[in-house]
Structure 1
Amino acid sequence: MRKPMDRLPSPLTLLRVGLAVFVLVWIFGPYALRSAVPIWLPFLIALGLELHFFVGALRPAPARRPDPGPQTADRERYGFGNDAEELLLVRNQDEELWIPYSGETEEELQALIVEARELPVEEAAPAATANPDRERLRLPVRRLVAGLGLIGALALIFWVVEGRTGWNGVDASTRAEATARFSQEASRVAEKPVTIRCDESGDYVGAVQHADGVAAVGGNLAYLTPERCLDLYRLALKGEVRPNRTATAIVVLAHEAWHLRGVADEGTTECYALQTGGEIGRRLGLSVDTAQRMMRRQLVDNARRGEASPAYRVPPDCRNGGRLDLRPDIARFP
């Protein structure tokens, strides 16, 4: 009967299940996870652990210390059970004999020794014809191939889903139309012609850079992550609203536009972005009430997010009638 611990999954199985769950959650889960962890990281960790388990399986098992007691073959030969005290080890020069003993006299013991010497010696089992090294390699190789197959399958799922449902799944002409619209809105804020591009290659923004957008202060070009571009595209061209994602994408676009206008301080830039984000949202298709509600929510969330990114926390003057209020004559903020 197997012990309960024997039924527990192996570390290798847990690794593969964990990888599959993480990749699926990364693809279909919250954007916060996608922005915090690059997708290649779990694949790299899984590959390293697969190789670790493979190399570990190739190492020879530690040699067992031989049992000095009577072996199973000895007990079977003399017709005794598993009780080791029923057999007596007798050494005669290089010869070792296990003799059944239950209080016999010396003469009776000598007779048992003679009898044991006359018993036929069991022939050793024929050596296995298979190559033991090859047999030892077979299971680790199969496990490694299975692990690499799982990693490849998950990578294929990621590639297919991203190619058909993400920003890359939008046809090229529609992407060009959308980015032109984003550039138009950013130019309004920057008060000059600027260009917004979506960083499909991930060279400028994304998980590695820990940013949804980037722009040179006073420059003419800004990059947004494909995820933010997708949210803006859904709003501007398809009329789809996903409250948190849509609001965040609008603020990111406005934030980078203010950098292009020449504002360098991140907290001040964020404050201005929250105030102009409502106008951008309305021009992209939101109602007045929805746009204002989204920006107020973003302002509330800024204090919470500021704990992780203090530079982006809006300063105390970012309030109704404060120094950073762009419309002090209006009793509404942002």
Structure 2
Amino acid sequence: MIFWILAMIYGFFISVQFISLQGGIYGLVRILFAFPILLALYAYTNNINDVKHFSGYAVIFFAIASLSLPLQFLTGPIPWFPAEAERAGFVRFSSLIGSLTSIGVIVGSYMTLSQKTVKYQYIWLSIIVVCAVISLSKAAIANIGIALTILILLNIKSISKTIITLILVCGSFIALYSSVDQISNRVNAVLTSFGVSVGNERIINYDYSFRESAFDRLTKLPLDNYNKLSGLGTNAVYLTGAGFGMASTALVPEADSLAIMAHNQYAESITVFGWLIGVLINILIISFAFIILRKYLRTKERFYLTLFAAYSIFLINSIFANGTIYQPSSATIFYIAMFVACSTDGRSYKNLHYSNKYR
């Protein structure tokens, strides 16, 4: 945790070398906006059951916040949300979850985290799935498929309960898809990006295909972002980074944006913090997954396996998305993983009845 705070402060000082002081302050505040989540974990969790409950509340909050997206079908765009856009002839809304892409790149993690952390799982899953598929996000469809597969595997020993949950979730979705045009049209619009013909003349597919979009996020966009460092007047910037103005992370005002969006968290870390600190940050981000998996193998505590799966989805999506370590919805998953990975454990974990092990 100390390293993380120092890295963010370092990012601020590097930022003011290339952008305005105001932009550096704004960027620091934005990138640490979700940091109180980690502090709350340290302040209010004493044992593994507390962490499960915390995770369950996060899932419930995500589901309720997701409802702010379909709410705009009735109210129109909410002005203080990030700006809306258009895809395939339909308005694409932001939400309390965050920017246009936020719900798509993190929905799979929350679906997976719902495993054994919330009561009435099918209700929260249904809300999350429906809101995600109508978001016009291609990533949402892929993530939902991945998460449902993982949930089946996690419940392979109680497959009957899993089947019932899936029937309830799928039934809720099919009922809405069949009866609400706003939903069916938006789902069909996203399916066209996967090359699925839906025979709807209203849907105009001028978007990149899913394959093209993913390939750009792996190659062109990160490289374009990295190449912008060459225009900052010093070769040292490759080692030090150029701060929060890079990668168009929405961390700074538009006037302080130095480069286009990288659409890749790992590339973003390199351009923002440089090779010296950025590589360490990326290693830290990835290492949490291995630490959590090791805890599961040692203790056989199922929550660790659930968190490992949810965090793995986060890591995969970070290849294709910016800002996953600071957008509140994705940062929540990140900070839960950081907290669990950095907390002490021992044989007493098997009993789930010890005090202050997480402090």
Say yes or no: TM over 0.5.
Answer: no
Larger relative contact order (C-alpha < 8 A, sep ≥ 6)? Answer: 2
Name the structure with the higher helix share.
Answer: 2
TM-score when normalising by structure 2: 0.24
Name the structure with the higher strand share.
Answer: 1
TM-score when normalising by structure 1: 0.25
Q: Quick check: which has more Rg, 1 or 2? A: 1
